């Protein structure tokens, strides 16, 4: 049987790649997708642990994460559209209003 | 055989996720992300969680990603004007790599502890994964489940408000 | 009445507060003038009452101390806000409030139409308050408040026309020179306080307590040091060598100020202070000698300078310095009564002369103004023959001049003669007496000369003013001439209260009056005085006649040079050009001081400014600021306002925290 570490490391790799994406990209939608990827990496961890511990709680958690992700997608994308309406752009370089 | 298959799926997942962050065109990124999600769904099946795999496909790949692609098309974003500055890229990559190293270290150092639960392959095969999830969700986690509905309602309201013409 | 002594300085203070705070709003000159004059007049009334009451008491009971409240109490040190009334301070408050009232009244006319009319009266009242505090203070600290206060008012009033650079400079000069003196005063105060405290365990600065304990003081030694320090303070305030140069420059102020502050009252503070502490000064024979020598030297020195000045007020200023020298000479020879007597008569005739010169300047100014001429209204070379145009001014000025020249029976004769006689006959300075007397006599001769030179140049001969405006020279209004007449009268008869014993026509009221104050001093003096030298009445009569002769000689010289033979002065000047230049330029003392003190101070200041201040102090300050700026410039990069930068920071932070836990 496959060791749990294989899943965990895969999850870690995906999470790291997601982080890199969030930090290095300028397009807000791509950043958003990277966040989704990070969430999925965590989901994978949950399910792997659930399997190896013989407990379904982890999977229930994944269920909730997905719910939150769906809500996040709805609100986040609405925000992006609103931002685009104002600035004609969804480039994070244009999100600089925190300076003042 | 199992290891080989896992290796293949994992490789595809990693490569497609790298494509997500390297593609200039957001549509390509989105498509790569969908591929990643499929890989993850496959892994869920391997982990004897078919219900999870199903909603991974339906909710993520089917709903959220479609929404994202819609938005991309709606906003008509072809490609980025340019990448971030070099030192930002470097710092971001460094952060990611460091994070990976840390996680790896932790995983390497630790071992699985905690009591083993009652759910095993035989039980899943006998009762059925969906039923087990359902039972748990509607008994033990009933309150969080109900609260989730409030969250979703709030998200709907928020999305509607934000999408109004005059913000 | 004695209990209400605090009212005396209070009235001018109220006047100052009203005029100072609301004068600008009141605007009406009559009201402002009435407030200012009324305030000091009220003080005068109270002073009269106090004098009456003192006269009613027996001589030994004429000391009264009124404690208002405890001002400072720290350990052994205690200073009350207290007033001391005794014959000496009674004389002083009479002079200050009496002459002050007249000069206030005069100022209403003289300052008419000036921009800062209210300011002038406010300062004048403040000055009166300070001066009254000075003379009434029961301890050295209260006296010191007044001492500083009059210095401040002097500064403010010299710089009254502050838009004129020379006025501002003169004010600063006066202030700085006074500071030098004040420093001496303070050191003297501390020395005396310390000596009494550490040697006799009497921690006091109260005059009466010091007087009571003064028998403990040694002769010479520490007393010499303390009194010399006090004397430095006196030279600063009373314009004696070496700190006299500010007084002639102080003539930049309005003329009433010159009359009140720089002739009649403030500059006599040093004399008063020595009189107040006579029982300490007399215990230091060396100091007495220094005081006498400095006084005599100043008397002759300033008199010589006075002979060559052309500015009417400058002549009077040098005359004041010279007369103050006479007072110090009197103090230095132990003739305290004579010094105070001369202080009083001098206040009358010098105030009268200053006010008279103010009247002349006033008239000249108006006449010149009328003709749109820009000649100097204070230059005597532009005057002449004014006695016909300004008869009242002329008469009052003339009697005052007779008084200062020492002509019998005008007041100056009695006081000056008393001083000269005491300089000759005092038992303290041995062979130096002849020198002191001689110097004084020659100074008196010079005084008569330059004062009559002034009178002749101003009031006699032909009018040298531009003929166009000749007819516009008028006598000043009543508000100006009334104080002149009162002061002229006092200058004439003021001397009778201090008639020498040998004359015998009247008892020497003044001496009897001040006797209780100076009794102790003369007692101390006896212990080291040379006994035996007894001078006959004939000698005294002779010297008296001699001093009149000297004065007459001075007058005759002036008459010859400036009335009969008007070409002679130029001839004299061309014969001794160097001498004239030196005298005209005040013996180059200002230049010498510039060279010795002012310029080195300036260079040192420049050095500190450019070397220390700019490089080190500013360097530290600016360096700190630059350091902060550098840091903040670096840190500012963090606050870019870009969300993703903050996200990056957060991620790095998470990694760091994780790393801490993982590798701990």
- The full DSSP string for C171-188 is HHHHHHHHHHHHHHHHHH
Calculate mean pLDDT across residues B74-94: 75
Identify the closest residue of chain B to C645 by CA–CA distance. B88
Flag if B21 and A77 touch (Cβ within 8 Å). Answer: no
Residue of C103 and C505 predicted with greater confidence: C103
C461: alpha, beta or left? (left if phi > 0; alpha if psi -120 to 50): left
CB-CB under 8 Å, C644 with B102: no
Share of chain C above pLDDT 90, in %: 30
Q: What is d(CA C524, CA B64) in angstroms, rounded to the nearest whole number?
A: 115
Task: Residue window 634-653, chain C: list those with CB within 8 Å of chain B.
Answer: 644-645, 648, 651-652
Answer whether C556's CB lies under 8 Å from C453's CB: no
Name the residue with higher pLDDT: B82 or C653: C653
CB within 8 Å of C639: residues ≥ 6 apart? A99
How far A99 CA lies from chain B's nearest CA (Å)? 18
CA–CA–CA angle C46, C51, C55 (5° rounding) = 150
Average of per-residue pLDDT across C402-418: 88
In this complex, the residue of C648, C654, C658 whose CB is nearest that of residue B88 is C648
* CA C637/CA C632 separation, integer angstroms: 9
Q: Write phi, then psi, for C461 (nearest 5 degrees).
A: 75, -160
Residue linked to tokens 């009433």: C256
Give, in order, the Cα–Cα distances in Å from C325 to each of C182, C240, C260: 19, 7, 18
Surface-to-core class of residue B118, CB atoms within 10 Å of its CB (0-12 exposed, 13-18 middle, 19+ buried): exposed
Kindly state the average pLDDT of the residues C167-173: 90
**What's the pLDDT tens digit per position in C450-460?**
999 898 888 88
Q: Residue C489: pLDDT above 80?
A: yes
How many contacts (CB atoms, under 8 Å) link B and C? Answer: 25
pLDDT of residue C16: 93
A1 at the C interface (CB within 8 A)? Answer: no
Contact flag C644-A92 (C-beta cutoff 8 Å)? yes
Per residue in C48-57, pLDDT tens?
999 998 888 8
CB nearest to A98's CB, from C641, C648, C651: C641
Rounded distance, CA A55 to CA B120, Å?
8
Per-residue confidence (pLDDT) for residue C130, from 0 to 100: 93
Q: Is A23 close to B40, i.e. CB distance below 8 A?
A: no
Instruction: Report pLDDT for C10.
Output: 92
What the block records as the tokens of C634 is 């670096």
Residue pair C514/C372 in contact (Cβ under 8 Å)? The answer is: no
Gap from B130 CA to chain A (nearest CA, Å): 11
- Cβ–Cβ < 8 Å for B6, A2: yes
The span from the CA of C380 to the CA of C451, in Å, is 12
Q: Is the pLDDT at C546 greater than 90, yes or no? A: no
Question: Would you kindly state where each structural domain of chain B is located, as residue ranges?
Answer: 1-79, 120-167
- Report angle CA C290, C239, C303 to the nearest 5 degrees: 85
Average pLDDT, chain C: 87
Q: What is the pTM of this model?
A: 0.69
Tens of pLDDT, residues C218-246: 888 888 999 999 999 999 998 888 888 88
Which chain B residue has its CA at the smallest distance from A53's CA? B116
Contacting residues of B for C655, CB less than 8 Å apart:
95, 98-99, 102
Do the Cβ atoms of B162 and A12 come within 8 Å?
no
CATH tag, B1-79? 1.20.120.1200
Q: Say whether B67 and A74 touch across the interface (CB within 8 A).
A: yes
Neighbour subunits, B (≥3 Cβ pairs < 8 A): A, C
Report the pLDDT value the prediction gives residue B78, as an integer from 0 to 100.
66
Q: What tokens does C384 get?
A: 């002449």
Is pLDDT of B81 > 80? no
Task: Count CB pairs under 8 A between chains A and C.
Answer: 30
Asked if the model's pLDDT at residue B79 lies above 70, the reply is no
pLDDT (tens digit, 9 = 90+) per residue, A38-94? 999 999 999 999 988 888 889 999 999 999 999 999 999 988 888 888 888 888 777
Give per-residue pLDDT as tens, C68-95. 888 888 888 888 889 999 899 999 999 9
pLDDT of residue C614: 85
Terminal C-alpha separation, chain C:
91
Which range of residues forms the domain containing residue A93?
Answer: 4-98
Q: Please spell the DSSP secondary structure of C616-643, one letter per residue.
A: IIHHHHHHHHHHHHHHHHHHHTT----H
Q: For residue C463, what pLDDT is reported? A: 78
CB contact under 8 A, B95 and C652: yes
User: Tell me, what CATH number does A71's domain have?
Assistant: 1.10.287.3510
Cβ of C200: how many Cβ atoms within 10 Å?
Answer: 12
Q: Please give the pLDDT value at position B80.
A: 57
The reported pLDDT for the residue numbered B13 is 94
Distance (Å) from the alpha carbon of C627 to chain A's nearest alpha carbon: 23
Residue C527: count of CB within 10 angstroms of its CB? 9
List pLDDT tens digits, range B30-64.
999 999 999 999 999 999 899 999 999 998 888 89
Instruction: Give residue C201's pLDDT band: very low, low, confident or very high (50, 70, 90).
Output: confident
Decide if the complex's ipTM is over 0.95. no
The distance of C635 to chain A (nearest Cα, Å) reads 13
Model confidence at C532: pLDDT above 60: no
Q: Are A19 and C651 an interchain contact pair (Cβ–Cβ within 8 Å)?
A: yes
Q: How many domains does chain A have?
A: 1
Query: Which residues make beta-bridge pairs with C658?
Result: none
Contact C640 A99 (CB under 8 A): yes
Indicate the residue of A26, A31, A96 with minimum beta-carbon distance to C641: A96
**Where does residue C607 rank: exposed (0-12), middle (13-18), buried (19+ CB within 10 A)?**
exposed
Ordered DSSP codes for A56-92: SHHHHHHHHHHHHHHHHHHHHHHHHHHHHHHHS--BG
- Three-state DSSP at C83 gives strand
Mutation choice for A interface testing from B5, B14, B20 by most A CBs within 10 A: B20
Q: Is 90 exceeded by the pLDDT of residue B15?
A: yes
Contact assignment for A54 to B120 by CB distance below 8 Å: yes
What integer pLDDT is reported at residue C136 of this predicted model? 92
What average pLDDT does the segment C512-533 reach? 79
């Amino acid at each position: 049987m496959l060791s749990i570490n294989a899943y965990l490391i895969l999850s870690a790799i995906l999470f790291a790649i997601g982080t890199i994406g969030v930090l290095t990209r300028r397009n807000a939608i791509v950043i958003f997708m990277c966040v989704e990827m990070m969430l999925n990496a965590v989901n994978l961890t949950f399910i792997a642990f659930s399997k190896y511990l013989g407990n379904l709680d982890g999977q229930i958690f994944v269920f909730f994460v997905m719910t939150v992700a769906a809500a996040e997608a709805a609100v986040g994308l609405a925000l992006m559209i609103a931002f685009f309406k104002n600035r004609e752009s969804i480039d994070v370089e244009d999100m600089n209003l925190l300076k003042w | 055989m199992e290891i080989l298959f896992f290796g293949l799926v994992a490789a595809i997942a990693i490569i497609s996720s790298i494509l997500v962050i390297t593609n200039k065109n957001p549509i390509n990124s989105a498509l790569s992300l969908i591929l990643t999600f499929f890989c993850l769904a496959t892994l869920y099946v391997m982990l004897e969680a078919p219900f999870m795999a199903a909603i991974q496909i339906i909710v993520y790949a089917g709903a959220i990603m479609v929404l994202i692609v819609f938005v991309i098309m709606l906003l008509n974003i072809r490609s980025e004007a340019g990448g971030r500055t070099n030192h930002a890229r470097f710092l971001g990559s460094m952060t990611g790599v460091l994070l990976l190293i840390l996680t790896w270290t932790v995983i390497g150092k630790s071992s699985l502890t905690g009591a083993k639960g009652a759910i095993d392959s035989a039980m899943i095969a006998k009762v059925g994964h969906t039923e087990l999830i359902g039972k748990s969700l509607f008994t033990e986690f009933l309150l969080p489940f109900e609260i989730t509905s409030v969250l979703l309602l709030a998200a709907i309201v928020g999305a509607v408000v934000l999408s109004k013409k005059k913000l | 009445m004695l209990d209400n002594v605090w009212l005396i300085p209070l009235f001018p203070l109220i006047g100052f507060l009203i005029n100072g705070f609301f004068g600008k709003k009141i605007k009406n000159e009559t009201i402002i003038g009435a407030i200012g004059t009324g305030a000091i007049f009220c003080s005068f009334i109270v002073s009269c009452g106090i004098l009456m009451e003192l006269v009613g008491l027996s001589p030994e009971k004429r000391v009264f101390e009124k404690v208002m409240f405890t001002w400072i109490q720290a350990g052994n040190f205690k200073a009350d806000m207290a007033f001391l009334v005794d014959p000496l301070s009674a004389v002083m408050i009479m002079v200050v409030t009496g002459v002050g009232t007249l000069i206030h009244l005069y100022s209403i006319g003289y300052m008419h139409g000036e921009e800062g009319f209210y300011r002038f009266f406010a300062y004048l009242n403040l000055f009166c308050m300070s001066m009254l505090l000075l003379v009434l203070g029961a301890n050295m600290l209260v006296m010191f408040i007044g001492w500083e206060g009059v210095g401040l008012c002097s500064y403010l009033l010299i710089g009254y026309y502050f838009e004129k650079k020379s006025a501002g400079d003169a004010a600063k000069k006066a202030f700085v020179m006074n500071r030098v003196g004040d420093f001496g005063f303070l050191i003297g105060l501390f020395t005396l306080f310390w000596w009494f405290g550490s040697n006799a365990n009497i921690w006091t600065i109260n005059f009466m307590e010091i007087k009571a304990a003064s028998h403990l003081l040694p002769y010479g030694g520490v007393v010499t040091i303390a009194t010399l320090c006090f004397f430095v303070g006196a030279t600063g305030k009373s314009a004696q060598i070496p700190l006299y140069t500010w007084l002639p420059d102080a003539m930049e102020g309005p003329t009433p100020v010159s009359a009140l502050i720089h002739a009649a009252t403030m500059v006599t503070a040093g004399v008063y202070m020595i009189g107040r502490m006579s029982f300490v000064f007399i215990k230091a024979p060396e100091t007495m000698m220094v005081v006498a020598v400095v006084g005599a030297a100043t008397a002759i020195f300033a008199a010589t300078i006075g002979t060559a000045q052309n500015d009417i007020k400058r002549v009077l200023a040098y005359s004041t310095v010279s007369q103050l020298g006479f007072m110090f000479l009197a103090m230095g020879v132990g003739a305290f009564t004579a010094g105070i007597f001369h202080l009083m008569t001098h206040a009358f005739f010098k105030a009268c002369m200053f006010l008279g010169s103010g009247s002349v300047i006033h008239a000249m100014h108006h006449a010149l103004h009328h003709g749109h001429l820009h000649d100097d209204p204070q230059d005597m070379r532009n005057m002449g023959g004014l006695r016909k145009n300004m008869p009242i001014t002329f008469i009052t000025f003339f009697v005052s001049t007779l008084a200062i020249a020492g002509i019998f029976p005008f007041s100056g004769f009695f006081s000056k003669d008393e001083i000269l006689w005491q300089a000759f006959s005092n038992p303290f300075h041995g062979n130096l007496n002849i020198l002191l007397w001689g110097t004084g006599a020659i100074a008196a001769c010079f005084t008569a000369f330059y004062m009559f030179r002034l009178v002749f140049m101003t009031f006699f001969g032909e009018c040298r003013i531009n003929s166009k405006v000749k007819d516009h020279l008028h006598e000043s209004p009543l508000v100006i001439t009334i104080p002149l007449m009162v002061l002229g009268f006092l200058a004439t008869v003021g001397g009778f209260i201090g008639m020498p014993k040998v004359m015998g026509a009247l008892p020497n009221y003044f001496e009897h009056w001040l006797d209780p104050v100076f009794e102790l001093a003369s007692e101390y003096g006896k212990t080291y005085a040379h006994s035996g030298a007894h001078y006959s009445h004939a000698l005294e009569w002779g010297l008296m006649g001699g001093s009149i002769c000297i004065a007459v000689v001075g007058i005759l010289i002036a008459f010859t040079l400036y009335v009969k033979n008007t070409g002679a002065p130029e001839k004299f000047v061309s014969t001794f050009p160097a001498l004239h230049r030196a005298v005209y330029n005040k013996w180059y003392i200002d230049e010498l001081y510039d060279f010795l003190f002012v310029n080195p101070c300036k260079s040192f200041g420049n050095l500190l400014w450019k070397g220390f201040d700019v490089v080190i102090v500013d360097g530290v300050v600016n360096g700190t600021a630059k350091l902060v700026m550098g840091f903040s410039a670096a840190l500012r990069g963090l606050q870019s306002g870009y969300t993703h930068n903050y996200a990056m920071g957060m991620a790095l932070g998470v990694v760091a925290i994780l790393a801490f836990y993982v590798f701990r």
